[in-house]
Amino acid sequence: MSQAIRMLGLALGVFFALAVPAMAQDGGSTLSFSSSFGAGLVIIGAGLGIGKIGAAAVESLARQPEAAGEIRGAMILAAALIEGATFFALIVCIMNAAK
Residue 66 belongs to a domain = yes
pLDDT digits (tens, 9 = 90+) for 42-89: 888 888 989 999 999 999 999 999 999 999 999 999 999 999 989 988
Q: Is the pLDDT of residue 93 over 90?
A: no
CA distance 87 to 85: 6
Assign residue 9 a region: left if phi > 0, alpha if psi is -120 to 50, beta otherwise?
alpha
Residue 35 belongs to a domain = no
> What is the rounded average pLDDT of the residues 22-26?
54
Residue 65 belongs to a domain = yes
Residue 70 belongs to a domain = yes
Residue 23 belongs to a domain = no
Residue 46 belongs to a domain = no
Domain that residue 81 falls in? 52-99
Residue 62 belongs to a domain = yes
Percent of the chain surpassing pLDDT 70: 78
pTM over 0.85: no
Residue 72 belongs to a domain = yes
Domain count, the chain: 1
Q: Is the pLDDT of residue 30 over 60?
A: no
